[in-house]
Amino acid sequence: MNDVPDSKPDMRNRSLRRRDALTGDERRAKSLAIATHGAEALAAEIPGKCVAGYHPIRSEADVGLLMALLEKAGAELALPAVIDRETIVFRAFRSGEELVAGGFGTRAPGEDAGEVDPDILLMPLSVFDEAGNRIGYGAGHYDRAIARLAARGRKPFLVGIAFDLQEVPSVPAEPHDVPLDAIITESGFGRTENGD
């Protein structure tokens, strides 16, 4: 466990500095372990469901292999595309399809790809705690996307993707924060109280 700084921005900055300090080889090995744990935990319940992952930026865990394994197990895939400073949508894609610039340094399916409502959302984050509280990057894209899905009667299974070193004892949660249902790190897959 790591010390908890006073504010969310401080927590985010410290966690991202720790994550940025990982070497490329360490990130690849940890991402491989995340893919293995995630596939083992989710493969049986995945056929016919839509899983939205993400294209990694900066020092994020790479979920490309996890998504490929889930697709092989019968999942349909999607990636987020940044529409404007406030909005992301999820667009369908298949492994190997060409991606375009998706905003904020990400890659995404082009505008001709169909928009989908994911059943499972693999979410990058900067900080998390055991209860499933998370801190993103401060733009609120995922919070707004989850709220839009909820307004349409959809409640995707929210899975945080992170490295162990991003965990803190407690993340201050606000009333609008939606906790994660599960978290996958290189140490394993764990459901939170919200995901039971």
| Residue numbering of the annotated binding site for ATP | 8-12, 134-142
Pairwise CA distance, residues 115 & 62, whole Å: 23
C-alpha to C-alpha distance for 22 and 34, rounded to whole angstroms? 15
All residues at 6 or more sequence positions from 21 whose CB lies less than 8 Å from its CB, including other chains: none
- Summarize the annotated binding site as residue ranges: 8-12, 60, 134-142
Binding residues for substrate: 60
CA-to-CA dists, residue 31 to 14, 79, 160, 187, angstroms: 21, 18, 13, 11
Cβ 125 vs Cβ 160: under 8 Å: yes
Query: Which of these, 140, 87, 127, 80, lies nearest to 105 by C-alpha position?
Result: 80
